[in-house]
Amino acid sequence: MFDELKPHLGELRKRLGISVAIIILMFLICFSFWQPILAWMIAPLKAVLPEGSNVIFTGVQEPFFTAMKVAFFTGFVASLPVIFWQFWLFVAPGLYDNEKRLVIPFVSAATLMFLMGAAFCYYAVVPLAFAFLIGFGSALFTALPSIGEYVGFFTKIIVGFGLSFEMPVVIFFFAKLGLVDDKALKDFFRYAIVIIFVVAAILTPPDILSQFLMAAPLTILYGVSILVAKAVNPYIPPEVDEEATDNEETKKED
């Protein structure tokens, strides 16, 4: 059994190696521009900070490690097309020839959906969430957010939204493999809503508005995923399938 897995493990190691190498390369490039990238990242926070407040650091090593976090996050996002491409090459041997041609649409759609999720988070969720959180205690406390904690929180929520928006792409892939169909997704809808709100509660700040801003588009994307599954792998009722089989047998007899 191990001998059968060795070629797959070797292929997996190769794809992971290429993905890690491109992330490191993009990290080194982005590290040269970490200051303007960080300025873009903290812009939503500075926009809602009250007068007299500012972003600070509390440890001598914090600015350096923050710069590394910023460069790694940006390098990861910039490497996504290559990462998705390597993932497709890993699973391609198990696909049909006509499915292998979908590599460009898959890579483009996966990258686009991640960027859409990240953009929605940055321009819609982050400003409202930070305005609520900063303003909540401003009458009693002075806001002096730590840059290291902020960057960690910012990257977590951006990546969370980006990955969440990959739902239609993932469903397309599973439907292509015959693992799901539109009926299965419809039957699972009530449970999916619960899971969506739980995920939203984990990935977003602890306020109802932020959770809803994540759960609402995810619910819409789940509906889009049902349509994707219906187009790729529609559910065929057993009686319809049996009638089609009977018709084929009748034609063969004639």
Tens digits of per-residue pLDDT, 124-143? 888 888 888 777 766 677 77
105: amino acid identity, one letter: P
Nearest by Cα to 163 from 121, 201, 129, 192: 121
Tens digits of per-residue pLDDT, 168-199? 988 888 887 778 888 888 999 989 999 988 88
Nearest by Cα to 132 from 18, 36, 44, 232: 44
The single residue listed with the structure tokens 């990238």 is: 37
Mean pLDDT of the chain: 83
pLDDT at 145: 84
Q: In the Cβ-directed half-sphere of 112, how many Cα atoms lie within 13 Å?
A: 8
Question: CA–CA separation, 181 vs 171, rounded Å?
Answer: 9
Tens digits of per-residue pLDDT, 29-61? 999 999 999 999 999 888 888 777 788 888 888
153: amino acid identity, one letter: F
Question: CA–CA separation, 230 vs 86, rounded Å?
Answer: 27
Tell me the DSSP string of the chain.
-HHHHHHHHHHHHHHHHHHHHHHHHHHHHHHTTHHHHHHHHHHHHHHHPPTT---B--STTHHHHHHHHHHHHHHHHHTHHHHHHHHHHHHGGGS-HHHHTTHHHHHHHHHHHHHHHHHHIIIIIHHHHHHHHHHHSTTTS----BHHHHHHHHHHHHHHHHHHTTHHHHHHHHHHTTS--HHHHHHTHHHHHHHHHHHHHHHS-SSHHHHHHHHHHHHHHHHHHHHHHHHHS----HHHHHHHHHHHHHHHH-
Nearest by Cα to 183 from 220, 239, 218, 226: 226
Rounded to two decimals, the pTM is 0.82
70: amino acid identity, one letter: V
